[in-house]
């Protein structure tokens, strides 16, 4: 079975603070992909990043960085110097080879509120 757990339901920070969103996953597939999506208050789902199971390199994109660790089955997301525009619900998701990559398994999401 595949499962994604985002234990943090809500996080509240003050602008310019760093914040890390946790994601832990379970899968029996050896080949799989992990994703982060952002859902701002307007409701659309915005793709942020994809990482495959064979690439454990951390990635940095501007104020965003991702830490993928297969040993702990985690794919955490850090926002540095948070801004009010970062306020959104963030979803971690998984798709595996056994599902033909057609089935995205989502976590329940973490609601991030950044206050001025």
24 belongs to the binding site for other proteins (CB under 8 A): no
Report how far residue 29's alpha carbon sits from residue 12's, in angstroms, rounded to the nearest whole number. 34
Instruction: Among 33, 65, 73, 78, indicate the residue that binds other proteins (CB under 8 A).
Output: 33
Tokens for 86, please give them: 């970062």
64 belongs to the binding site for other proteins (CB under 8 A): no
Locate tokens 């329940």: which residue? 108
The conformation of residue 107, written as its DSSP 8-state character, comes to: P
- Minimum CB separation from other proteins for residue 94, in Å? 11
35 belongs to the binding site for other proteins (CB under 8 A): yes
Tokens for 95, please give them: 């798709």
| CA distance to 50, 66, 78, 98, 102, per residue, from 58 (Å) | 12, 6, 11, 25, 25
Name the segment binding other proteins (CB under 8 A); options: 14-22, 57-65, 66-74, 95-103: 95-103
List interacting residues with other proteins (CB under 8 A): 4, 9, 33, 35, 37, 43-45, 47, 50, 52, 91, 93, 95, 100-104, 106-109
């Amino acid at each position: 079975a595949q499962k994604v757990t985002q234990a943090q339901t809500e996080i509240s920070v003050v602008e310019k603070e760093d914040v890390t969103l946790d994601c832990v996953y379970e899968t029996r597939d050896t080949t799989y992909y992990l994703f982060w999506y952002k859902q701002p208050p307007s409701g659309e789902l915005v793709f942020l990043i994809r990482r495959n199971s064979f690439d454990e390199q951390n990635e940095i994109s501007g104020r965003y960085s991702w830490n993928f660790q297969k040993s702990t089955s985690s794919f955490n997301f850090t926002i540095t110097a948070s801004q009010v525009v970062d306020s959104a619900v963030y979803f971690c998701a998984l798709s595996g080879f056994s599902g033909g990559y057609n089935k995205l398994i989502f976590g329940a999401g973490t609601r991030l509120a950044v206050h001025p």
